Chains A and B, each alone.
Chain A
Amino acid sequence: MTLTLKNAAKTFADGTAALKPTSLAVQTGEIVSLLGPSGCGKTTLLRIIAGLEAPDPGGQVLFDADDVTDLPVERRQVGMVFQSYALFPNMSVRANIGYGLKMQKLPRAEIEARVDEVLEMCRLSDYADRAITALSGGQRQRVALARAVAPRPRILLLDEPLSALDAALRDSLRDELARLLRRFEITAIFVTHDQTEALAIADRVAVMRDGRIEQIGRPEELYRRPASAFVATFVGHALALDGDVTGSVLALPGGNLPLPGAAPHLSAYVRPEDIRITPDGPLEARVESAVFLGTHYRVTLAGVTRHPLVAIHAAPEAPKTGSIVRLDIAPGAVLMVPAEGPAA
């Protein structure tokens, strides 16, 4: 199913403009992630798609060619995984997963068969008759997913499905979720505030900020060609190189850096992994600290810009704290985005 959102906006009764007019198109089978800091309107957008909130007048939600804007949630055939899972405590795992099928008034035998199939896929067969309260966090998460996909919804909506789990579990479930979503071959929207999750799971990522989508694109695209300072810093922790641009040269306190091209009204950003410590680099910096993190050192460098830069230094030895080193940044690695105030 394709999803089309036209000028969907949401202003709550208390005046909060949670979502500015937003348009979005999602292709059949595509997994799109809504990524952004807390409070930027991700959940609101998701709830408008689900039918749990009505968009402000003028907004439209289309499933394929059907205008579902005025269709109540129970008739929209969406599957939703809630942040708190919203599993029914009065029902067993099996009854939870079968509930949507029961609502479709399918014959008993077919419900059983389909529940078994989903249980199998989500590795829950051993827990089918348990009470919800007798499950671990990770198991609950999978039940919530199984329950949402069992009725074969037109679209699957997931609201921070991993955020209630602890870090170790989150990592392993993230990969499993990515695999399951591909296997279900379902159009899905996945809300998260964690860029790793978004990049790992989504076909396309929509970065949101203050109630609007700031940029949407494939993970690589967002990462390599951020359209704004906000996207550059939120996705991949890019750091600002603030200096004066003359022609295609950026003058920094630590030296002059050649840019890919003439860049009036643009700001330069760089990611930690793109800063190389090398004896013949054009920039000079002083090593503030170097922290060993196993695969690399995380080196904090002062003197290049007004703020310290952070570099990922994958070498057997760390530079000495206090020593002066030279840095290079490949012209292709410098991210040029429209100038604006420092990102929130």
Chain B
Amino acid sequence: MRQAKVFQLSVTLLAAAFLIVPAIMSVMAGVTANYFRGIRSGLTLKWIGQVFELYADSILLSLYLALGCLIATLIIGVPAAYGLARNPGRTSRVLEEFVSLPLAVPGLALALALLQLYGTMKGFRTSPAFILVGHVLYTLPFMIRSVLAVLAATDLKTLEEGAATLGAGPWQRFRDIVVPNAMPGILAGALTVVTLSVGEFNLTWMLHTPYLKTLPVGLADSYASMRLEVASAYTLIFFVMIVPLLMAMQWASDRARRIAQ
């Protein structure tokens, strides 16, 4: 009994160390003057400054893309989730399954598919819209599922009938009843979409052009060609952006899940 507990605790601690130690090292390396000489060489913001000089465009592009992706998934995903919730039939199941394909199919395969069909459309291929399409494709199922889960747990039919007897037409019911009651799901979906978009690499790497690098593409670039301190500083900046997003996303998803039960 005792022994078993000690063993379990050791495994847990080892796993935690495995995950956190390199992350801490990366944070440290990002603010250390000379990583090879260690912390004795002093702390500095030089590397972070360099990252902003080199990669400010990438970071900005990622933020714009995340925003665009959020808007697109809201416009497409929220009405779609409502449409699916209102038609709980076989067709809806098949459609939902189909648009969820990007959850299962690796980004690399999706990117190849997009490239083969649209790669020759030069204006589109070289515009940020091309990357945006990839991001929307990948994040849309998260938005739809998150909203759908909350809507499915709401007695949407009766609430809408109630609003209809009070004179509300379809659009007014969508605005006044559906969207507000789906809000926990929309919030959770939105945070998930932004978190995933900011961190997306697999699709983006294939879809990007040399002039359009996103934050993770820049990361890969810095890992391959920059000194360790710069790569670490860049990773540190990424952590600062993504960790709060992740925590907000987990909080919102837990809340939405409780409501959807």
Contacts and interface: CB of A to CB of B under 8 A. Distances in A.
Interface of A: 50, 52, 72-80, 82, 84, 86-91, 99-100, 103-104, 147-148, 151, 153, 157
A74 B159 contact: no
B161 A86 contact: yes
Nearest to B167: A103
B158 A84 contact: yes
Contacts of A88: 159, 162-163, 176-177, 180-181
B72 to A, nearest CB: 25
A148 B161 CA distance: 12
Contact of B176 (A73, A74, A84, A99): A99
Given A84-B158, A99-B163, 9 more contacts: A50-B165, A52-B161, A73-B165, A74-B166, A86-B161, A88-B181, A91-B180, A100-B166, A148-B165
23 contacts: A50-B165, A52-B161, A73-B161, A73-B164, A79-B166, A80-B162, A82-B158, A82-B161, A86-B155, A86-B158, A86-B161, A87-B162, A88-B159, A88-B162, A88-B177, A88-B180, A89-B181, A99-B163, A99-B166, A99-B168, A103-B167, A103-B168, A148-B165
Interface in B158-190: 158-159, 161-169, 172, 176-177, 180-181, 183
Interface size class of B (residues with CB under 8 A): 10 to 19
Contacts, number: 66
A100 B167 contact: yes
Interface in B166-223: 166-169, 172, 176-177, 180-181, 183
A103 B158 contact: no
B180 A90 contact: yes
A316 B183 CA distance: 65
Interface in B109-165: 155, 158-159, 161-165
Nearest to B160: A86
Nearest to B158: A86
Contacts of A153: 165
Contacts of B159: 86, 88
Contacts of A79: 165-166
Contacts of B155: 84, 86
A27 to B, nearest CB: 22
B176 to A, nearest CB: 7
